């Protein structure tokens, strides 16, 4: 099994690229954002509790997403590896993921870190607001808060992964196809 993190600020293209990469490399795409939005859409108690936090652009508690991911890892078969999207988002989540993988004889093999300029992130998210219906895309102040939360709580994971020799920065500016090509080039050296 080869396990990748796709990493980057809100709007950097993690979800867009994950769908294409998961298909190309036979990886299971695990997005905690998608899992949380599915809970909200299903009207579960968890979804109701998390929806207020998400609509403000804050992070949900580490314990919630760690449990979601653990459940998915144990239930998957017939794949070449995992592609984690939007998880981990704190150093504590990264440590928990490493432990989860290590106890199952796996590791984080590569962090693909998309680098996108601030104004491009905002432009993409405002553009998506028209079609996504996502509460966290509707308000420019919430978009800025999501980027601030990323810089404060999530970006430090890059240093953590660099120290472990798995950090791979990828230019996330340009067309979806060009960025896909850059990601594939990096991943082909690892699989």
Q: Binding residues for ligand AP5, per CB under 6 A?
A: 8, 10-16, 32-33, 36, 53-54, 57-60, 65, 86-87, 89, 93, 124, 127-128, 136, 146, 175-176, 179
Which of residues 120 and 162 has its CB atom nearest to ligand AP5 in the complex?
Answer: 120
Closest approach, Cβ 47 to ligand AP5, in A, equals 11
Distance of CA 35 to the CA centre of its chain: 11
Closest approach, Cβ 12 to ligand AP5, in A, equals 4
Which of residues 78 and 179 has its CB atom nearest to ligand AP5 in the complex?
Answer: 179
Distance of CA 113 to the CA centre of its chain: 10
Q: Which helix (H) or strand (E) holds 71?
A: helix 62-74
Which of residues 33 and 81 has its CB atom nearest to ligand AP5 in the complex?
Answer: 33
- Please give the radius of gyration of the chain, using alpha carbons only, rounded to the nearest integer: 16
Query: Per DSSP, what are the bridge partners of residue 171?
Result: 115
Omega within 30 of 0 (cis) for the link into 150: no
């Amino acid at each position: 099994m080869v396990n990748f993190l796709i990493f980057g600020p809100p709007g950097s293209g993690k979800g867009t690229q994950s769908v294409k990469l998961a298909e190309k490399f036979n990886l299971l795409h695990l997005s905690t954002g998608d899992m949380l939005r599915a809970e909200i859409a299903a009207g579960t108690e968890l979804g109701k509790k998390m929806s207020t936090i998400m609509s403000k652009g804050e992070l949900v508690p580490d314990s919630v997403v760690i449990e979601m991911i653990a459940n998915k890892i144990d239930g998957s078969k017939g794949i070449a590896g995992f592609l984690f999207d939007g998880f981990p988002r704190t150093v504590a989540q990264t440590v928990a993921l490493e432990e989860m993988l290590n106890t199952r004889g796996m590791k984080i093999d590569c962090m693909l870190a998309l680098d996108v300029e601030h104004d491009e992130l905002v432009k993409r998210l405002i553009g998506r607001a028209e079609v996504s219906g996502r509460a966290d895309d509707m308000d420019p102040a919430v978009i800025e808060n999501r980027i601030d939360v990323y810089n404060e709580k999530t970006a430090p994971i890059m240093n953590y992964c660099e120290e472990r020799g798995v950090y791979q920065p990828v230019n996330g500016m340009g067309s979806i196809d060009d960025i896909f090509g850059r990601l594939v080039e990096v991943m082909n050296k690892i699989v």
